[in-house]
Amino acid sequence: MKTNFHTHTARCGHAVGRDEEYVQSAIRGGYQVLGFADHGPWKFSSNYRSHMRMNPQEEFQDYLHSIRALREKYRGQIDIRIGLEYEYFPPYMDWMRQIVRRERLDYLLLGNHFEYSEERRFYFGRQVVDEETLARYVDSALQGMATGLYAYLAHPDLFLRGYPSFDRHCEKASIRLCRAAKEQGFPLEYNLCGALEDRRTGQQHYPHPLFWQIAAAEGCDVIIGVDAHSPDALEDDSLRQEGIRLLTGYGAHVIDQIPYFAW
């Protein structure tokens, strides 16, 4: 099956295109299942306003309304699913659970971008630079996994966006993360948005071969996520093919399905 559960929309402020263009690109790209998982809204208790996600009021309602309408319009052509990419933010988890249940979402992805709450601005993609901050990244990911709310961990090697190079601390952290994921049967996402950025910039951040060799050796389930921030990402298959070739070469177990909430 050709599936993608990681699709953003322009509501997050750093993605482009209309919702329907993502659907049309996915159909042209040969996808059978397209899951939208835009950055989930939070109702922060401070006056902090996020610049990387929809607001919990009208934008969230518009997101649900738009994707539900597309699901009906394209029924029979492509299976559209409604999810969100959500963090693990301890002070707000009760609120998050409530809206996920209220709106009967199909699934959540764990996007471990910030520690504790975005209000503190500790961004794992840039501020993980040593053994101590690496441990904080893995702790947060493991706590999120343990909630049982999420279908998989998006870009588990995000910490390599800011880390100087893949050293022995990265190896240790990767083993701890992958071993826990394997124990819990929690899939890890090989992220094509990171691959696209690396292709554009000529860098090697994430997905990182050494991380994925560890994930394969630990026996983790791996799923490809386009993490589409523009519709054309669903039509260019080269990064996906390259990812599958690398992963199967490492002996990784690649999956293409996730469980949905049963409401």
**Closest CB to Zn ion: residue number:** 111
Cβ closest to Zn ion, residue 154 vs residue 216:
154
Q: How far is the CB of 196 from Zn ion (least distance, A)?
A: 12
Cβ closest to Zn ion, residue 5 vs residue 75:
5
Cβ closest to Zn ion, residue 32 vs residue 143:
143
Q: Give the total of residues touching Zn ion (CB under 5 A).
A: 2
Span from 66-74, 104-112, 181-189, 240-248 in contact with Zn ion (CB under 5 A) = 104-112
Q: How far is the CB of 55 from Zn ion (least distance, A)?
A: 15
Cβ closest to Zn ion, residue 87 vs residue 218:
87
Q: Which of residues 106-165 bind Zn ion (CB under 5 A)?
A: 111, 154
Cβ closest to Zn ion, residue 32 vs residue 117:
117
What span, in angstroms and rounded, lies between the C-alpha atoms of 130 and 62? 41
Q: How far is the CB of 130 from Zn ion (least distance, A)?
A: 22
The answer to the question of residue 225 lying near Zn ion (CB under 5 A) is: no
Q: Which residues lie near Zn ion (CB under 5 A)? A: 111, 154
